[in-house]
Amino acid sequence: MLVLGIETTCDETAAAVVEDGSKILSNIIFSQIHLHQKFGGVFPELASRSHVDKILLAIDESLKKANITLSDIDVIAVANRPGLIGSVLIGLNAAKALSLSLKKPFIGINHIEAHLYAAMMESINNLIFPALGVVISGGHTKLLKILDIGKYEDIGTTIDDAIGESFDKVASILDLRYPGGPEVEKLAKLGDSTKYKFKAGKVDKNPFNFSFSGLKTKVLYTVKGQSSKKDFPTLIKEEEKKHIAAAFQKCAFDDLIKKCTLACSKFNLKAIYFGGGVTNNKTLREMFDKENLNIDLFWPQKDLSLDNAAMIAGLGYHKFKKENKSDRLDILAHPSCSF
């Protein structure tokens, strides 16, 4: 079964063709980073306009690269939730138009679920459940119990900033470029993580919930002075920034690792599947390896960490196989969703 995947939930316009859920024939991603960099974050209206410019090109390229035509496609899968509503609508309407004109089924996909599926694609014939799902992206920080593809139970989530968002905000405090994650990681490599003492937030009611906004504020006050604002002048010396980046990163990742370890032992989980842009961080992967958790860790392969349409097409295959029918053409785009 050939599935055309479409992804436009945030600032990547992406289209991909995937065969039988895991064989990636093409994975085209047009990043909009250059458009948003000067704003220090995603500018939603610009994102939507750029999706309009690029969506047909992305689909054309994905078909060309896969060496097929539109008529070869069996199913169209599109991320219809969660995301920036204007952006989601561009991909969703493109998918609906294709479905209507080609008379092919289409299916709406949860972007967060697809991030987890990205880590499953390489080992689709050897999946291990029950497992812990860890979604760490710019918009989400979630721990889930995975019982099967499509069967999840919530364990924990962030009560304020997402982990990737906190990297982006700390990067901006340290005058680094957007997106902040890779920049903070690079700078942190040069620093001493013990020079500053930071603490991630503790959430009373659920030990698996996260809070990163206090940590981010602590970094702000360290860099610009107590009770300062983001646009205040920087008070610390330039060479301190690398130590702050290292201490922040270690603090955020220690918190994540602690909660993942606890979740695996409490719920007797046999593997961890990681998804979302923060999985790009090599230091995080090394830190998890050093924990020797004695369970299999599944990370997304190259080009599947950040937003992409291959994960949407891959998950679309399983959803369609299970339900064996198209979604209705009046399904909506959702800015947020429960899992």
Residues that contact ligand KG4, how many (by CB under 6 A): 20
What is the x/- site pattern for ligand KG4, positions 113-142, by CB under 6 A? ------------------------xxx---
Select from 5, 133, 156, 179 the one that contacts ligand KG4 (CB under 6 A): 179
Phi and psi at residue 306, to the nearest 5°: -80, 175
Among ligand KG4, Zn ion, none, the one that 161 touches (CB under a kind-dependent 5 to 8 A) is none
Q: Residue 28: beta bridge partners?
A: 15
Phi and psi at residue 195, to the nearest 5°: -70, -25
Determine, following the binding rule CB under 6 A, whether residue 167 of this chain makes contact with ligand KG4: yes
Least distance from ligand KG4 to the Cβ atom of residue 91, Å? 14
Least distance from Zn ion to the Cβ atom of residue 276, Å? 6
Q: Residue 3: beta bridge partners?
A: 18, 75
What is the x/- site pattern for ligand KG4, positions 313-332, by CB under 6 A? --------------------
Select from 21, 181, 191, 300 the one that contacts ligand KG4 (CB under 6 A): 181
DSSP annotation of 122 reads G
Determine, following the binding rule CB under 5 A, whether residue 137 of this chain makes contact with Zn ion: yes
Among ligand KG4, Zn ion, none, the one that 306 touches (CB under a kind-dependent 5 to 8 A) is ligand KG4
Interstrand relation of 271-275 and 296-298 (parallel, antiparallel or unpaired) = parallel
Q: Residue 142: beta bridge partners?
A: 135, 157
Among ligand KG4, Zn ion, none, the one that 316 touches (CB under a kind-dependent 5 to 8 A) is none
Among ligand KG4, Zn ion, none, the one that 201 touches (CB under a kind-dependent 5 to 8 A) is none
Instruction: Provide the Cα torsion 279, 206, 244, 37; round to 10°.
Output: 50
Determine, following the binding rule CB under 6 A, whether residue 10 of this chain makes contact with ligand KG4: yes
Phi and psi at residue 261, to the nearest 5°: -60, -45
Select from 6, 280, 298, 313 the one that contacts ligand KG4 (CB under 6 A): 280
29/264 with CB nearer Zn ion = 29
Least distance from ligand KG4 to the Cβ atom of residue 188, Å? 9
Residue 13 φ/ψ region, left for φ over 0, alpha for ψ in the -120 to 50 degree band, beta for the rest: beta
Q: What does the alpha-carbon distance between residue 182 and residue 280 come to, in Å, rounded to a whole number?
A: 8
Are 93 and 333 in contact by the 8 Å Cβ rule? The answer is no
Are 174 and 244 in contact by the 8 Å Cβ rule? The answer is yes
Q: What does the alpha-carbon distance between residue 163 and residue 276 come to, in Å, rounded to a whole number?
A: 10
Determine, following the binding rule CB under 6 A, whether residue 82 of this chain makes contact with ligand KG4: no
- In the range 24-43, which residues lie near ligand KG4 by CB under 6 A? none
Nearest to 336 by CA among 91, 57, 127, 80: 80
Burial class of 108 by CB neighbour count within 10 A (0 to 12, 13 to 18, 19+): buried
Select from 307, 308, 311, 333 the one that contacts Zn ion (CB under 5 A): 307
List residues binding ligand KG4 (CB under 6 A).
Answer: 10, 137-139, 164-165, 167-168, 179-182, 185, 276-278, 280-281, 306-307
